[in-house]
Amino acid sequence: MERIIAHADCNCYYASVEMLRNPRLREAPMAVCGRTEERHGIVLTANYPAKRRGVKTGMANWQAREACPGIYIVPPRYDDYIQFSGFVRDLYYRYSDRIEPFGLDEAWIDLTGCASSFSQGEKAVQEIRERVKRELGLTVSIGLADNKVFAKLGSDMKKPDACTVIPADRYKEIIWPLPVGDLLYVGRSTEAQLRGRYINTIGDLAGTDPESLKRWFGKVGLVLYAFANGEDRSMVAPAGFEAPVKSVGNSQTCPRDLETDTDVKIMIYALSESVGARLMELGVYASTVEFWFLDNELKNHGTRQCKMPAPTNLSGEIAEAAFRLFKKNYGHWPKPLRKVGVRGCGLVSMDMPRQLTVFDDGPGAAAREELERVLYSLRRRYGNKVIQRAVMYTDQEISGVDAKKDHTIHPVGVFNGGMSVSWGGYTTIMQ
C-alpha cells in the first residue's frame, strides 16, 4: 500500500497565538522573545511584518530592535501555546489516529489507509489547512509525500498557508535541486563539511558513494544518504505511542558565563540532580555518563563520556563523573563556558541485578540510594530547592537555575520503528 504522509507546520506559531489574543499586533512588526536579564533574551519567533524587516529567529532582543526599530516585544506564554497546540492536534485526529508531534507547532499525520489514494490525501491536507484557518484562526503549511522526511521538506517549501505535494515519481525533480542544508538533520556544521566536498544540493548527496559518507560521518552519513534518496520508512507514531527511552539528559544556558571550576561544578550538580530524578521516575539506572559544553563563542567542544563502575541513578555519582570529564577535557580553560549538558546513557532497569566490584559497599550503596529517594520525594513535594548541596550556596546566581522544572522534553526523533538503508546489496537497520 502506498504511504500517504503529511507534515503540518503552524506558521510563526508563538506570534500567531499572540496575534489571536491581541489582533492589533497583526499588522505591526512583533516578536516573541525571552527575557534578556536571564540570557534567554532571544527571538523565539516573529510575525511576517517583522521578518520582512530582517528579524530572524535566534536573534538577540537588541538585534531585533536594531533591525526593526519600534518592534513590539512580547514575552512568551507557554500555557497558551500548549493549549492551542492541543486544539490543532485535536483537529488532526479527526483525519488519522497516527499523529506524531515534532515540537508544539509541528506534527506528522499518517493518512495511509485513511485516504483511499494519494490524490485523496491531497484533498485531505487542503481541507485540514482550510479548517485550521477557519476554526482556529491559525495558518499551517503542509507537505505531503510517501515518507516523513520529504513531507517535512514539503512543509518548509511554501509559507505561509500552503500545501506542497511531492509524489513518489517526481521527488527527484522537486527535492534534488534544493540546497543540502534543507534536508532534515543537516545542521550548519554538517552542511559546511558537505559543501567542502562539493556536495551542494540534496541531489549531490543522493549521488554520493554511501561508503564515503559513512567514512566521513559514521552512521549518520548513511542516514543522510537514505533521506536524500527517499528511503525513509520510519513510522508515524500512533496515538498513545511512547518510544523507548534510550538516554536521559538535560542542558542549560548558564545565567552568566562559567569562569571557574566551582561555577562548572554548581551547574553540573544542578543538571545531574535533574537527570537523577528523571532516572528514578523511569525506574532505570545509567551505565554511562556524558558531558558536553559550549564556550562563550558558542563553539561546541563535542560530547565526552565515561562508563560507570556500576549503573547508577545517584545524582552525586553522575555529577562527579561529569566533572571528571570536564577537567580531563577542558581543565586548561581556554574560554569561559556558556552552556553545559549532562546525560545518562546505557539505561538498565532497576529491577535487574547489578554487578558490584570487591571494592563496592553494598549496604552503603543501598543506603545512599534510599537517601536520594527521600531527597527526590521532598523536592517533588516542596520544590527542587527545599534542600540543596553546600556548593550551591557559593553562587546564588548560578544555583538559581531550576534544571528539573525548566527542562523541556524534546520531540521524538524521526526514526520511530527503525529505517532500512540499502546499498551495494547490503541492508542496515538504523534504530
Q: How far apart are CA 68 and CA 30, in angstroms?
A: 9
Overall CATH class of domain 176-239: mainly alpha
| Residues taking part in catalysis | 106
Amino acid 412: pLDDT: 43
Give the right CATH number for 1-165 from 3.30.70.270, 3.40.50.2300, 3.30.420.40, 3.20.20.140.
Answer: 3.30.70.270
179: DSSP letter: B
Q: Report whether pLDDT(404) > 70.
A: no
Split at pLDDT 50, 70, 90, the class of 371 is confident
Amino acid 246: pLDDT: 79
Q: Which residue has the higher pLDDT, 284 or 424?
A: 284
Amino acid 253: pLDDT: 80
Amino acid 391: pLDDT: 83
- CATH 3.30.70.270 positions along the chain are 1-165
Split at pLDDT 50, 70, 90, the class of 242 is low
Overall CATH class of domain 247-354+361-406: alpha beta
Q: How far apart are CA 357 and CA 235, in angstroms?
A: 42
Q: Which residue has the higher pLDDT, 332 or 199?
A: 199
Split at pLDDT 50, 70, 90, the class of 119 is very high
Q: Which residue has the higher pLDDT, 35 or 421?
A: 35
- CATH 1.10.150.20 positions along the chain are 176-239
Task: Please tell me the pTM assigned to this model.
Answer: 0.67
Residues 6+ away with beta carbon under 8 Å from 312: 285, 286, 318
Cell of 115: 485516504
Give me the chain's average pLDDT, please. 85
Angle between helices 261-282 and 315-330 (to 10 degrees): 140
Split at pLDDT 50, 70, 90, the class of 377 is confident
Amino acid 138: pLDDT: 97
CA angle, corner 174, sides to 142 and 169, nearest 5?
A: 95
Query: Does residue 293 contact residue 320 with C-beta atoms inside 8 Å?
Result: no
- CATH 3.30.1490.100 positions along the chain are 247-354+361-406
